[in-house]
Amino acid sequence: MTGPDYRVEARGVLEAAGKALAAESARFAGIGWMRGTSGNLSIVLNRNPLRLAVTVSGLDKGELTSADVVVVDEYGRAVEEQPRPDLIPSAEAELHARVASLSGAGAVVHVHALQAVLAGHWWPDGIELRDLEMLKGIGRLAHDETVAIPVVPNSQDMKVLGDDVAKVFDPGVPAVVVARHGMYAWGRDLLQARHHTEIVEFLLQFKVETR
């Protein structure tokens, strides 16, 4: 969508986004990457002004419905023009918006995959990967190229965390690890964001298990 007034025409779009986010959340919860109520997903609804549908805070990610989403602005704040303005977005919605703005992504995934936490612990200055076939899945070469997944320190202040992500942002790497927390990955749409999440987690698992 391109215009600022999406209150009527976007109702169907928001419902579809909520359905997709609920399905992907259940998928990630099922493999143990969104334990408890952790993690959050988002889809970009509008670029100018920036609007994202973000999963709500405090719910089991394996049991979301299409209604369990909040529309937020570029600062991660819930906007008034939506069906359920009373819902509370994830505290990390601001970082979703920052990543979408930096990368131009259409969707952002945040999971608490253990391999990402371990890799961030062992390589806090960045996780270097090389000569792995799965690197092709994030658009890089399988051989003769070193790819570094950035790592940033954790913070409860999303402005600080967003600034740190911006400092290490690499347009050729669709993911970042937040130390002792988890990882963010993104893509042109939710399907590609899921694929990037799965592939990066595989690469990080290889790195950890061959340390």
Tens-digit pLDDT profile for residues 35-70: 999 999 999 999 999 999 999 999 999 999 999 999
Structure tokens at 102: 């930096």
| Mean per-residue pLDDT of the chain | 94
Give Cα 184 to chain centroid, integer Å: 4
For residue 8, pLDDT beyond 80: no
For residue 99, pLDDT beyond 80: yes
Confidence of residue 11 (pLDDT cuts 50, 70, 90): confident
β-strand 151-152 against 175-178: which pairing, if any? Answer: parallel
% of the chain residues with pLDDT over 70: 95
pLDDT at 90: 86
Residue 190 CA to residue 118 CA, distance in Å, equals: 25
Confidence of residue 17 (pLDDT cuts 50, 70, 90): very high
37: β partners:
none
pLDDT at 36: 93
pLDDT at 84: 83
pLDDT at 112: 97
Q: Is 143 annotated as a binding residue?
A: no
pLDDT at 83: 84
pLDDT at 1: 42
At 119-141, the pLDDT tens digits run 999 999 999 999 999 999 999 99
The mean pLDDT value for 172-184 works out to: 98
At 66-82, the pLDDT tens digits run 999 999 999 999 998 88
pLDDT at 183: 98
The mean pLDDT value for 155-163 works out to: 97
For residue 106, pLDDT beyond 50: yes
Nearest to 148 by CA among 203, 208, 209, 205: 203
Cis check: omega of the bond before 89, within 30 degrees of 0: no
The mean pLDDT value for 157-182 works out to: 98
The mean pLDDT value for 159-165 works out to: 97
CATH numbers and ranges of domains, the chain:
6-209 (3.40.225.10)
pLDDT at 7: 52
Q: Is 96 annotated as a binding residue?
A: no
Cα angle for residues 88, 109, 211 (degrees, 5° grid)? 130
